[in-house]
Amino acid sequence: MAGSTFGHLLRVTNFGESHGPAIGCVIDGCPPGLALAVEDLQPDLDRRKPGTSRHVTQRRESDRVEILSGVFEGRTTGTPIALLIRNEDQRSSDYENLLDTFRPGHADYTYWRKYGARDPRGGGRSSARLTAPMVAAGAVAKKWLRERYGTRVRGCLQQLGEIEIAFVAWEHAERNPFFAPNEAIVPRLEDYMDALRRQGDSCGARLRVTATDVPVGLGAPLYDKLDADIAYAMMGINAVKGVEIGAGFGAVAQKGSEHGDELTPDGFLSNHAGGVLGGISTGQDIEVSIAIKPTSSIRLPRRSIDRNNRPVTVETHGRHDPCVGIRATPIAEAMLALVLMDHALLQRAQNGDVELPVPPIAARAPKDA
């Protein structure tokens, strides 16, 4: 199956290259009747777009999205929603020297070996620019989940390079270009990034993404477990090298008596599961953590080869994010929202007639539980 479509029932097909005429996506399977306008998509696109601070690429893209189909008189019709974003600021000359050489840590080499050719301009299809349509699609999913179930999806930066960031409050994350949930640490992050840029190097990041007020029962026993689909979605974001749900790798050293979240009539007493048990949502917050590798396009000289397997030295100048993780928060939120909406549709398809005599317990027990 060609790989550019995401999802089972809510399906998003992504297209485009960094320096081609346009990028975009087609969202198929959205229920009808959802109020939808460009204004619903643009805020998340603006959170992701380049050029918003000196710590990200200086490429200037307005990332204005056009809705080509699937909306009539301000509401979704149930037919495919096509979204188009024109590329505006292509400086392909930056990449001319890249056509023949491969950046270490970059997809240059693998595209070349796979397809026998590649579009080298701005990374072509491998560019993080292709996450813009994901973010736009995710905004549709976020809106539907919020209206239908009250679900809210949020993300923030947990670590930038060596700097761990203690969580203070979600509100903080929206008030600085790092999505750091801790405003006090922002000057330190800025200094860190400024030094990195001067060195011509790059760094990694760790992000947290959370969904609250998630319905219980989303997912499947196997293989399309909710957490398996989340792992697929997250690992599919550019530069991601690790995914954790709930306690994640911390679960290795936990005892069963510590890890297993106890249940009470008033709610769960902990959330090491990260909101998923046996592949199915518990109703607790979905808690996801992802690792993002450092950008491979750096100024520092590195050993590589050209298309004839001859040794070369590569220094990448152009315009690049010194830490792609900085702009990745809205992307991870979008992918989580898409997975949840998809599984919400799957759940009512198969289990729409299920009725139980007692309601689900609360996501969290009251403090005195």
Which range, of 44-52, 54-62, 81-89, 185-193, touches its own copies by CB under 8 A?
A: 81-89
Per the CB < 8 A criterion, the answer to whether 67 and 82 are in contact is yes
Q: Which residue bears the tokens 């239908």?
A: 148
Using the rule CB under 8 A, which residue among 41, 65, 81, 173 binds its own copies? 81
Q: Which residue bears the tokens 């179930």?
A: 149
Q: Which is nearer to its own copies, 113 or 175 (CB)?
A: 113
Using the rule CB under 8 A, which residue among 155, 161, 318, 330 binds its own copies? 161
Using the rule CB under 8 A, which residue among 305, 319, 363, 364 binds its own copies? 305
Using the rule CB under 8 A, which residue among 98, 273, 332, 341 binds its own copies? 273
- Residue 122 binds to its own copies (criterion: CB under 8 A): no
Which range, of 56-64, 166-174, 179-187, 229-237, touches its own copies by CB under 8 A?
A: 229-237
State in angstroms the smallest separation of the CB of 283 from its own copies: 8
Which range, of 40-48, 165-173, 185-193, 342-350, touches its own copies by CB under 8 A?
A: 342-350
Using the rule CB under 8 A, which residue among 95, 102, 178, 179 binds its own copies? 102
Q: Which is nearer to its own copies, 175 or 189 (CB)?
A: 189
Of residues 178-197, which lie at the interface with its own copies (CB under 8 A)?
A: 196
* Structure tokens that stand for 250 in this block: 């911390």
- Residue 353 binds to its own copies (criterion: CB under 8 A): yes
- Residue 143 binds to its own copies (criterion: CB under 8 A): no
Question: Which residue from 265, 231, 267 is spatially nearest to 248, judged by alpha carbons?
Answer: 231
The answer for 304, left when phi > 0, alpha when psi is -120 to 50, beta otherwise, is beta
Q: Which is nearer to its own copies, 2 or 171 (CB)?
A: 2
Question: Which residue from 52, 131, 126 is spatially nearest to 95, judged by alpha carbons?
Answer: 126
Q: Cα separation of 165 and 208, whole Å?
A: 11
Q: Cα separation of 346 and 342, whole Å?
A: 6
Of residues 314-333, which lie at the interface with its own copies (CB under 8 A)?
A: 322
Give residue 208's Cα distance to chain centre: 10
Q: Cα separation of 11 and 7, whole Å?
A: 5
- Sequence-distant (6+) residues with CB within 8 A of 244 are 250, 274, 288, 289, 290
Q: Which is nearer to its own copies, 168 or 305 (CB)?
A: 305
Q: Which is nearer to its own copies, 45 or 84 (CB)?
A: 84
* Structure tokens that stand for 193 in this block: 């990034």
Burial class (CB in 10 A: 0-12, 13-18, 19+), 109: middle
Q: How many amino acids of this chain bind its own copies (CB under 8 A)?
A: 169
Q: Cα separation of 22 and 15, whole Å?
A: 8
State in angstroms the smallest separation of the CB of 220 from its own copies: 3
